[in-house]
Amino acid sequence: QSVLTQPPSASGTPGQRVTISCSGSSSNIGRNSVNWYQQVPGTAPKLLIYSDYNRPSGVPDRFSGSKSGTSASLAISGLQSEDEADYYCAAWDDSLNGVFGGGTRLTVL
């Protein structure tokens, strides 16, 4: 069972906006920054959002992150077929280790 809680699945049609939530606690999200990863099955995760809302170079601005208290969210606007993947949130925990969410499988209908 993962320390951070994500919905197992999400879906949307092309062009729609979808959000994926990530819930934690005061020892991780409440005190440390959140990062988001996109993983296409069979490949390594790719950094999508870092330090709550920052995008690495090359990540489209359709992807955005936010955080409030002990929860964080990833929003994808203008959904495209290539966005179909697994999405994971991650944060440092005060128990001195990294923690991940269980992942959300995004389906583009």
Partner 1 sequence: QVHLQESGPGLVKPSQTLSLTCTVSGASIDSGSFYWTWIRQFPGKGLEWIAYVHNNVPGFTFYNPSLKSRLNISMDTSKNQISLRLTSVSAADTAVYFCAREKLGGTTFEYWGQGTLVTVSS
Residue 2 lies near partner 1 (rule: CB under 8 A): yes
Closest to partner 1 by CB, 63 vs 100, is 100
Q: Can you give the chain as a three-state secondary structure string?
A: CCCEECCCEEEECCCCCEEEEEECCCCCCCCCCEEEEEECCCCCCEEEEECCCECCCCCCCCEEEEEECCEEEEEECCCCHHHCEEEEEEEEECCCEEEEECCEEEEEC
52 binds partner 1 (CB under 8 A): no
Binding mask 12-51 for partner 1 (x = CB under 8 A): --------------------xx-x-x-----xxxxx--xx
Q: Smallest gap, in angstroms, from Cβ of residue 106 to partner 1?
A: 13
Residue 20 is encoded by which pair of tokens? 């994926």
Reading the block at residue 74, the tokens are: 């990833």
The binding track of 82-101 with respect to partner 1, each residue x by CB under 8 A or -, is ----x-x-xxx--xxxxxx-
Contact residues toward partner 1 (CB under 8 A) are: 2, 32-33, 35, 37, 43-47, 50-51, 56, 86, 88, 90-92, 95-100, 102-103
